Amino acid sequence: MADLDETHDMHLTSWVIGANLESADFPIQNLPFGMYRRRGDGGPMRACTAIGDRVLDLAAVDAACEHSLNALAQEGRSRWRDLRLRLSRLLSDEAQRGRVERFLVALADVELGLPVQPANYTDFFTSYYHAYNAGKLFRPDAPLTPNFKWMPIAYHGSASSIVASGTDVRRPCGQLFPAGATEPVFAATQFLDFETELGVVLGPGTCLGETVSMATAEDHIFGLVLLNDWSARDVQAWEYQPLGPFLAKSFATTVSPWIVTLEALAPFRAPAFARFAGDPTPLPHLQSIANEAAGHLDIDVEARLAPAGGVEEHLSGANYASSYWTPAQLVVHQASNGCPLVAGDILGTGTISGAEAHEAGSLLELGKMGSSPVCLQQGEQRVALQDGDALTLTASCSREGFRRIGFGRAEGAILPALTPP
Ligand code: CA
């Protein structure tokens, strides 16, 4: 696990004044990695970090990772730690300002792209409360499947439709089975939903046949991003048995521009989920004392909704540490059959929902599958997303004795469906 060092000192400030604001997502203690280009510049994306209201081109410290963060992801923890330390010193030392300032660009003047190009994307299902809430809607007598407490359940998603924050999302068409109908139709989804998730971005990969132990699992984690697993519930309900989600999920997945590294998250470790009395102990390959003590991450996630032309408002929020399986357990499980991990791959945590009704990370749960509409401040109601709605995820970490850090935003607005063929 990453150690605390001078880069985490809460009293450290930057000569980039915007980084020192209490509300800043990107104080000098964060230093996330992303890809940017100047707005209106058609050139390739370049690697950067965020500092306050600016981006700093990584060419200021290192020309080697200019055009891809996948390569940096592959290099591993000592390299990431070294880069973080150099960035922290450069951006805090006023004497370096003259040399470094020309590599800064205002966030308002840049486009932010996908932080990595994932070769593979897996979506897990690790929140006990989400599994219970969603399961209860479909299977009231047995909400949790028998495997849930034994392994982090997942399906393979589609890496080709992972999109950068700010990309509009087209309402998909698919095969669905309207209530009362005698056969399915191909039509635009009537139950478009979001899922509040985090994405674990993988660091160094593995070879075919190689597995990963709990002791070294976090060496394969570069950092975390926000991830919205857009979902067409009516398509999902008809297609998911027996092989799980397919086209109900793969039309778009939005991720945030910034990889918040495990180094930045070091002050915000949390114990693994406190299992209920009678729950099984994880099998030996999925457990470790270190994981029980501090394998989780204390990250507050939030979903916000803005109707077309309306004001953005809080929809729901929860804490990631309430999920049943930790990031290390996802990595170990994913590699446990010898399938290679690839640097830059993304493992979605699954919808993050808490114990309370207002902590649900999807409209499916918030609106109880349509039976209990969510009331918005300006009088509108939602059981599903409407055309023109903009859904935004945010996240932050706060703990006494440390500087608050944020994840930025993962946002997308819904475009009307194209006419079905
Ligand atoms: Ca999901």
State the Cα–Cα distance between residues 164 and 134, nearest whole angstrom: 27
Q: Over its length of 421 residues, how does the chain's per-residue pLDDT go in tens digits?
A: 458 999 999 999 999 999 999 999 999 999 999 999 999 988 899 999 999 999 999 998 887 777 889 999 999 999 999 999 999 999 999 999 999 999 999 999 999 999 999 999 999 999 999 999 988 888 889 899 999 999 999 999 999 999 999 999 999 999 999 999 999 999 999 999 999 999 999 999 999 999 999 999 999 999 999 999 999 999 999 999 899 999 999 999 999 999 999 999 999 999 999 999 999 999 999 999 999 999 999 999 999 999 999 999 999 999 999 999 999 999 999 999 999 999 999 999 999 999 999 999 999 999 988 889 999 998 999 999 999 999 999 999 999 999 999 999 999 999 999 986 6
* DSSP type of residue 109: G
Residues 217, 220, 225, 229: is their CA dihedral positive or negative?
Answer: negative
Ligand 1 centroid – CA 105 distance (Å): 34
- Interval between CA 132 and ligand 1 midpoint (Å): 14
Ligand 1 center to residue 98 CA distance, Å? Answer: 46
Nearest-angstrom CA–CA distance, 274 and 255: 29
358 is known as an active-site residue? no
- Dihedral Cα 267, 162, 301, 1, nearest 10 deg: -20
Contact 144, 132 (CB under 8 A): yes
Taking alpha carbons only, the member of 230, 224, 223, 114 closest to residue 166 is: 114
User: How much is the CA Rg of the chain, to the nearest whole Å?
Assistant: 21
Domains and their CATH numbers in the chain = 6-112 (2.30.30.230), 121-415 (3.90.850.10)
Assigned token pair, 409: 């935003």
Six token digits for residue 234:
């009516």
Cβ-based neighbour number of residue 42 at 10 Å: 6
What end-to-end distance do the CA atoms of the chain give, in Å?
52
**Token pair recorded at residue 94:** 């006023």
Residue 315 belongs to what H/E stretch? strand 313-319
- Rounded distance from Cα 405 to ligand 1 centre (Å): 25
Q: How far is the CA of 229 from the centre of ligand 1 (A)?
A: 5
Q: Kindly state the tokens that stand for 26.
A: 């990107």
**How remote is the CA of residue 408 from the centroid of ligand 1, in Å?**
20
Q: In this structure, what are the phi and psi dihedrals at residue 279, rounded to the nearest 5 degrees?
A: -70, 150
Question: What is the rounded CA–CA span in Å between residue 335 and residue 321?
Answer: 22
> Is the separation of the CB atoms in 47 and 93 below 8 Å?
no
Ligand 1: distance of its center to the CA of 125 in Å? 7
List of residues 6+ apart from 63 with CB closer than 8 A: none
419 alpha carbon – ligand 1 mean position (Å):
27
Q: What's the pLDDT score for residue 357? A: 92
Q: How far apart are CA 362 and CA 368, in angstroms?
A: 10
Among the listed residues 8, 11, 67, 130, the single catalytic one is: 130
Distance from Cα 260 to the centre of ligand 1, integer Å: 20
Mind listing the pLDDT tens digit for each residue in 307-326? 999 999 999 999 999 999 99
- Respond yes or no on whether the N-terminal peptide bond of residue 242 is cis (omega within 30° of 0): yes
pTM recorded for the entire structure: 0.97
Q: Angle at CA 374, nearest 5°, toward 370 and 378?
A: 140
The predicted pLDDT at position 139 comes to 85
- Residue 122 bridge partners (DSSP): 156, 347
Percent of the chain surpassing pLDDT 90: 91
Q: Give residue 296 CA to ligand 1 midpoint distance, Å.
A: 19
Q: DSSP letter at 43? A: S
**CA atoms of 407 and 26, how far apart (whole Å):** 8
Cα-to-centroid distance, 124 and ligand 1 (Å)? 7
| Cβ atoms within 10 Å, residue 415 | 12
Judged by phi (left if over 0) then psi (alpha if -120 to 50, else beta), residue 86 lies in alpha
Contact 262, 287 (CB under 8 A): no
- CA of 197 from ligand 1 middle (Å) equals 7
